[in-house]
Structure 1
Amino acid sequence: MTAVDDGTTLGVAGLIMELQSLGLRLETRLETSRQGGAGPSDSGMLWIEGVPVTVPPSESSPYSLRAEDDGQGIYRDGIKLASVSGTARPRFYDLTTADGIPYHQIALLHLDSLASTVVQACNYWGNSDQCGFCGIGLSLAAGRTIAKKTPEMLAEVAVAAKELDGAVDATLTTGSSVAPDRGALYVARCGQAVKEAAGLPVEVQFEPPRDLTTIDQVHDMGVDALGIHVESFDPAVLARVAPGKFRTGIETYFRTWEHAVALFGEGRVSTYVILGMGEDPELTVQMCKRAVDIGVYPFVVPLRPVSGSLMQDVPAPSREYTEPIYRKVAGFLAERGLGAETAVAGCARCQACSSLNLVQHAGAPAPCGPTGSGAPGGAPLLQIGRRPA
Structure 2
Amino acid sequence: MTKALEEPRRGAVDGGALPPGALGTLVAELQSVGLRVEVPIETRRGGAGPSDSGMLWIDGVPVTVPTEGARAAESPYVLRAEDDSDGIYRDGVRLATASRTKRPRYYDLQTADGVPYWKIALLHLDSLASTVVQTCAYWGNADQCKFCGIEVSLASGRTIVRKTPQQLAEVAVAAKELDSAVDATLTTGSSNAPDRGARYVARCGNAIKEAAALPVEVQFEPPRDLSVLDEVRDLGIDAVGIHVETFDPAVLAHVAPAKARTGIDYYFRTWERAVEVFGRGKVSTYVILGMGEDPDLIVRGCRRAIDIGVYPFVVPLRPVAGSLLEDAAPPTGEYAERIYRRVVPYLVARGLDARGAGAGCARCQACSAMNLFKTLQIGSRPPDAEGTA
TM above 0.5: yes
AA of the residue aligned to 1:286: R
Alignment of 1:3-42 (within 5 A): 3=13, 6-30=17-41, 32-39=42-49, 41-42=51-52
Aligned equivalent of 1:189, options 203, 226, 239: 203
AA of the residue aligned to 1:243:
P
- Partners of 1:90 and 1:138 lie apart in 2 by 23
Aligned pairs for 1:113-262 (under 5 A) are 113-262=127-276
- Structure 1 contact 39–133 (Cα < 8 Å) conserved: no
Secondary structure of the structure 2 residue equivalent to 1:92: helix
The structural deviation recorded for 1:343 is: 0.7
Residue 362 of structure 1: CA displacement? 3.0
Query: What residue is the counterpart of 2:4 in the other structure?
Result: none
Q: Using the alignment, how far apart are the partners of 1:75 and 1:175 within structure 2?
A: 39
Q: Tell me the distance in 2 between the aligned counterparts of 1:277 and 1:204.
A: 25
Which of 311, 326, 330 is matched with 2:325 structurally? 311
Whether 1:351 aligns to 2:365 is yes
Q: 2:383 aligns with which of 342, 349, 367?
A: 367
Q: Which amino acid aligns with 2:153?
A: S
Q: Which amino acid aligns with 1:184?
A: A
Give the Cα–Cα distance (whole angstroms) in 2 for the partners of residues 370 and 259 of structure 1.
25
CA distance in 1, matches of 2:46, 2:194: 27
* Partner residue in 2 for 1:108: 122
Aligned twin of 1:2: 12
Structure 1 residues 368 and 25: CA distance shift in structure 2, 3 A: farther
Check whether the contact 2:315–2:367 (CA below 8 A) recurs between aligned residues.
yes
Question: How many angstroms does 1:86 deviate by?
Answer: 0.2
Contact 1:114–1:170 (Cα < 8 Å) also in 2: yes
Deviations 1:215-248 (A, max 9, x none): 1111111100000000011110011111111111
Asked if 1:323 is matched to 2:334, the reply is no
- Residues 257-336 of structure 1 aligned to structure 2 (within 5 Å): 257-336=271-350
Question: How far is the alpha carbon of 1:39 from its aligned partner?
Answer: 4.9
Q: Is the 8 A contact 1:184 1:218 kept in 2?
A: yes
Moved more, 247-256 or 35-44: 35-44
**Partner secondary structure for residue 331 of structure 2:** coil
What's the TM-score once normalised by structure 1's chain length? 0.93
Distance 1:295 1:42 in 2: 32
Q: Describe the SS at the equivalent of 2:118.
A: helix
Q: TM-score, normalised by structure 2?
A: 0.93
Ranges in structure 1 where 5+ consecutive residues have no aligned partner: 378-389
Provide closer, same or farther for how the CA distance between residues 331 and 180 of structure 1 changes in structure 2, counting only shifts above 3 A.
same
Shift of 1:3: 2.1
Identify which of 45, 56, 81 aligns with 2:95.
81
Show CA shifts across 1:83-108 (max 9, x none): 11000000000000111100000000
Structure 2 residue ranges without an equivalent (≥5): 1-10
Q: Determine what percentage of the aligned residue pairs are the same residue.
A: 67
Distance 2:183 2:22 in 1: 28
Distance 2:385 2:138 in 1: 39
Say if 2:62 is the partner of 1:52. Answer: yes
CA apart distance, 1:11 = 2.2
